[in-house]
Amino acid sequence: MSGWWIMLTGSLVAISCGILGCFLVLRRLAMVGDAISHAILPGIVIAYLLSGSRDSLVMLFGAALIGLVTVFLIQWFQNSGIPSDASIGVVFTALFSVGVILVSLYTRQIDLDLDCVLFGEIAFVPFDRLIVGSVDIGPRAFWGLLLCFLLVATIITLFYKQFKLCSFDPALAAALGIPVAFFHYVLMGLVSVTTVASFESVGAILVVGLLVVPPATAYLLTDRLHVMILLSAFIGVLSTVLGYYVAYWLDASIAGCMVAVAGVLFVLAFLFSPKHGLMGRRKRLAKRMAVTV
Amino acid sequence: MIEMLLYDPNVRWVVMASLLLGLSGGVLGSFAFLRKQSLMGDVLAHAALPGICIAFMLTGTRSMLWFMIGAAIAGMLATFGIGFITRHSRIKQDAALAMSLSVFFSVGVVLLTHIQHHVRGNQSGLDTFLFGQAAAMTMSDVYLLATVALILIAACALFFKEFKLISFDPEFAKGIGLPVAALEQFLMFLIVIAVIVGIQAVGVVLMAALLIIPAVTARYWTDHLGHMVVIAGAIGAFSGFSGTILSTLAHHLPTGPLTVLSATFLFALSLILSPKRGLVGKWLSRRKARMLLVASDHLEQERAFVRGGG
Amino acid sequence: MIQSKAPLKVTDLSVSYHDKPVLEHISFEVPEGKLIGIVGPNGAGKSTLIKSVLELVPRLKGEVTFWGQPYKRVQKRIGYVPQRESVDWDFPTNALDVVMMGRYGHLGWFRRPGKEERRLALESLRMVGMEAYSDRQISQLSGGQQQRVFLARALVQDARIYFMDEPFVGVDAATEKAIITLLNDLKRQGKTVLVVHHDLSTVKEYFDWTMLLNVRLHAFGPTDEVFTPSLLKKTYGGRLTILEQEGKMSLLTN
């Protein structure tokens, strides 16, 4: 039973990340996802200090806010002439340092295990139950992540065309009157919220894996954006389920195994994808050579 | 207080080692910055984890030398993977970086948890790996760190000319017969080494910071590569120095974040104050542009006047 | 009423990048229904002119009106074709989908592209001779075909004034011919088209009006009056060699 809850919760993380990650990968913002996942640490700590609990809306908003600050700072430094990778690096390492120092300073007041924030412990998910009235309706993390998934799915579905055009051709989007910056921040806000919602289960650092690896795998398998998004979510779920069993078998971190399995799936797609894989490319090249000869 | 601390030979060595580490981070980071590979340090630092774990599993000891070898192999594999993926598929650089970072790291986490569950005794905790604890280093670690940092700096001094060229204009470097690919690999190798010795002292994420922030900060003050390398090295050294001192003064506070925040402080100062690129400087130049515009408006009117009232 | 005003009027426009001026004191008024070439050396600010007019880059100073109204009010009647290199052609989408994107401005916030958009997009693809490729992934199109898709996307916007940034770069001769035919069709429908162009040898053949730009506006008017050796020399400075023989003009940029 608890295994089911773990896989279900993990799948919700994987689906939300899989959807958002497609836009990150296509807009070349993969490392911004990495930056956000590190940078929200001070947000989590401050919100925790203020609210005194770890599953509050304050926490969610606190971290989402820091996520947006991160994106804003990166953008600002970039506009002032610092190369994008360096701006990303400066912002997230600095914020992460602040977070680590806050944790060290208030280590007595907060019962936040840094390991747990960064790597998560999805194995504990089933034990923290949500009880409504006197009925136990399942793990708290599950409901939180379900809410997060619904938020992501609703917003992306409603504004699919805007997100698509902003990713493909921001100049045209702006010329057509679509508020490009607004949608950029909405996307990044969703990434932050998802990261916060998932940090207890898969951990902040491994969220990056689920944000990038399944979308990149899907990117090698299709030429249509909506198919890519669905595939990416599916690959995420597959990684979760397989990862769970691998972790059981190796007696090791479940979240780690989920991302490692996603990595294996990527390598398979990279080698064998008929359209964009290594083999496919070779074959097409050979065919072309044969034709020209 | 600080003098007293520095009388303690142990503390003196630790401070010295952090200072040298910061110095080499700043120097190497300058080249990485110019080659638009600032985040490589971040990736390499994360990718080192499985290498370290495998080294531990194979040797069963916490030997820094074996850790370095394991981490170097993992790091080189990660860089190779990134290059291979971007060359042979439509995946772009950023996604390739993020993927190898997270996949290598998660493999590391898997191995580490496996070790923690199965191997008894002397094991390296994730905490020290992630955040570093300069105070927890043994003296032999410190000597090794200092030596390696010195070697890195010496290598950069020796190959300064070559690194400058491959950072600035690899095509031209190829044209005059430099072995560009080999030099790029060599520079990457030096960065790997810096990251690995740094992990012990300041931890994964924050070692990445030492490769980025001093270089970016230095860029605010000069357009000359030679000067930039020196300034970045100085900023890195200062950050390492003050981070270690602060960490020794305030117990329980880890060295890494304090080092990074020292560097960030200098960055923020430069961001505001640098005469050419800082906020103040920008504001002045923007104002100058407006003034020039107004001045040329007047000139235009005068010309029109001279031409005959146009 | 609105149509009686100039489709585009720019007054004293200046743009700078940090403290470097990119455009200075640009003022002009575009007549209705003309095909206009914007010509000048590299770094003259040609693309910047378009982008600042469309509010894609901030202006230091200056006023821009379309038919006497500000940009935001008439956005739907303005079409824009960015440079082909400005987008990632590996994006997972096909030609038809890219063309449909041109309708997004008309759809508003929530409506999704449907049958009508599909029909319009297919029609535009037919106009540029690309209907056979509507299903093709965009990275599998040649440079010329990609440019035609971009053009179809502009057509589907159904604008009254078009801005095109270097549409002839990297395209084959057939596409170049097709594009210019299409632009002339647009002109016949009374639409105004501004094209950033860098090939001086075709200016006289392609454009009714020409703008000579190099940070400052050097000349703007009917091509016959503007495209003269003396004005070109003034615009390009030393970067242009003009060989004139037997009444024919050859131009070399260096």
Residues of chain B contacting C21 with CB distance shorter than 8 Å: 289, 292-293
Q: Can you say whether the dihedral through the CA atoms of A14, A15, A17, A19 is positive or negative?
A: positive
Q: Which of A165, A175, A227 sits opposite C54 (nearest CB)?
A: A175
**Interface residue A262 vs chain B (CB under 8 A):** yes
Cross-chain Cβ contact C25/B288 below 8 Å: no
- For chain C, say whether A285 makes contact (Cβ under 8 Å): no
Whole-angstrom distance, CA of residue B208 vs CA of residue C58: 35
Q: What are the residue ranges in chain B where pLDDT is below 50? A: 122, 308-310
Q: Which two tokens stand for residue B118?
A: 């199965």
Interface check for B296 against chain C (CB to CB < 8 A): the answer is: yes
- pLDDT band with cut points at 50, 70 and 90 for residue C237: confident
pLDDT for the residue numbered A120:
65
Mutate to test the interface with B, among A28, A88, A93, A210 (most CBs of B within 10 A): A93
pLDDT > 70 in chain B, percent: 84
Torsion sign, CA atoms A73, A77, A78, A82: negative
Whether chain C has a CB inside 8 Å of the CB on A276: the answer is: no
pLDDT confidence bin for C2, thresholds 50/70/90: very low
B288 chain-C contacts, CB cut-off 8 A: 19
Q: Do B286 and C19 touch (CB under 8 A)?
A: yes
Range in A42-51, A254-263, B16-25 with the lowest mean pLDDT: A42-51
Q: How confident is the model at residue C3 (pLDDT cuts 50, 70, 90)?
A: very low
Pick the residue with more confidence: A282 or A115? A282
Res A240 pLDDT > 90: yes
Nearest Cα to Cα of residue C75 among C161, C202, C182: C161
Integer Cα distance of C20 and B223 in angstroms:
17
Q: What is the ipTM of this complex?
A: 0.88
Cβ pair C93:A171 closer than 8 A: no
Q: C19 and B296 in contact by Cβ < 8 A? A: no
Chosen for mutation from A161, A219, A281 (greatest number of chain C CBs closer than 10 Å) is: A161
Given a contact as 3+ CB pairs under 8 Å, which chains touch B? A, C
Paired with C35 in beta bridges are C193
Instruction: Show which subunits contact C, needing at least 3 CB pairs below 8 angstroms.
Output: A, B
CA distance C126 to C109: 28
Among the partner residues A82, A253, A277, nearest to B110 by beta-carbon distance: A253
- Which of B293, B294, B303 would best serve as a mutation to test chain C binding (most C beta carbons within 10 A)? B293
Determine the pLDDT at residue A20. Answer: 95
Q: Which chain B residues have a beta carbon less than 8 Å from that of C139?
A: 90
Tell me, what's the pLDDT at B130?
A: 60
Q: Which two tokens stand for residue A144?
A: 């939180």
Contact in structure between A200 and A116 (CB atoms under 8 Å): yes
| Mean pLDDT within A119-142 | 72
Residues 86-125 of chain B with CB under 8 A from chain C are 90
Count the residues in chain A. 293
* Contact call for B117 and A205, based on CB within 8 A: no
| C-alpha count within 13 angstroms, C-beta hemisphere, residue A122 | 36
Mean pLDDT of chain C: 84
CB A114 within 8 A of CB A106: no
Identity of the residue numbered A263: G
Cβ–Cβ gap C18/B290 under 8 Å: no
Query: Does the distance separating the beta carbons of A177 and C75 come in below 8 Å?
Result: yes
Q: Which of A24, A167, A172, A288 to mutate to test the interface with C (most CBs of C within 10 A)?
A: A172
∠ CA B276-B281-B287 to the nearest 5 degrees? 125
Residue C14 predicted with pLDDT over 80: yes
Residue A73 pLDDT level (bands cut at 50, 70, 90): very high
Q: What are the backbone angles phi and psi of residue A15, rounded to the nearest 5°?
A: -70, -50
* pLDDT tens-digit series, residues A268-279: 999 988 888 888
B99 contacts A213? CB cut-off 8 A: yes
Strand partners, A190: none
**Dist CA A46 CA B58 (whole Å):** 41
Q: Do C18 and B292 lie within an 8 Å CB cutoff?
A: no
Residue C43 burial class via C-beta count within 10 angstroms: exposed 0-12, middle 13-18, buried 19 and up: exposed
Q: Which of A168, A178, A276 to mutate to test binding with chain C, by most C CBs within 10 Å of its CB? A: A168
A80 touches chain B (CB under 8 A): yes
Nearest to A169 among C75, C82, C109 (CB): C82
Residue C210 parent element (H or E): strand C209-214
What pLDDT is recorded for position B310? 33
Supply the pTM of this predicted model: 0.85
Does C254 have pLDDT greater than 60? no
A175–C56 CB contact, under 8 Å? yes
d(CA C186, CA C201): 23
Higher pLDDT: C98 or B4? It is C98
Chain B residue closest in CA terms to A28: B94
Out of B102, B118, B258, the one facing A212 most closely (by C-beta) is B102
The contacts of residue B89 (CB under 8 Å, 6+ apart) are A220, A270, A276, A277, A278
Percent pLDDT > 70 in chain C is 91
Contacts of residue B60, defined as CB under 8 A and 6 or more positions apart, other chains included, come to B119
Can you state the percent helix, strand and coil of chain A, rounding each to 5?
A: 80, 5, 15
Q: Is A87 helix (H, G, I), strand (E, B) or coil?
A: helix
- Residues of chain C contacting residue A162, judged by C-beta atoms under 8 Å apart: 104, 109
As beta bridge partners, residue C11 has C63
C137/A227 Cβ within 8 A: no
Per-residue pLDDT at A208 exceeds 70: yes
Cβ separation B258–A101 shorter than 8 A: yes
What is the model's pLDDT at position B27? 92
pLDDT band of C228, cuts 50, 70, 90: confident
Per residue in B214-245, pLDDT (tens digit) is: 999 998 888 888 889 999 999 999 998 898 88
Please give the residue that has the higher pLDDT: either B294 or C145: C145
Q: What is the pLDDT of residues A4-46, one digit of tens each?
A: 888 898 899 999 999 999 999 999 889 888 888 888 888 888 8
- Closest alpha carbon within chain C to B289: C19
As a whole number of angstroms, the distance between CA A201 and CA A188 comes to 20
Q: Which is more confident, C220 or A139? A: C220
- Tell whether A118 lies on the interface with B, counting CB pairs under 8 A: yes
Q: Which residues pair with A135 in a beta bridge?
A: A132
How far away is chain B from the Cα of A132, in angstroms, using its nearest Cα? 35
Partner-chain contact C104 A161, CB within 8 Å: yes
CA distance B69 to B66: 5
Summarised one tens digit per residue, pLDDT across range C23-80 is 888 888 888 888 999 988 888 888 889 998 988 888 888 888 888 888 888 888 888 9
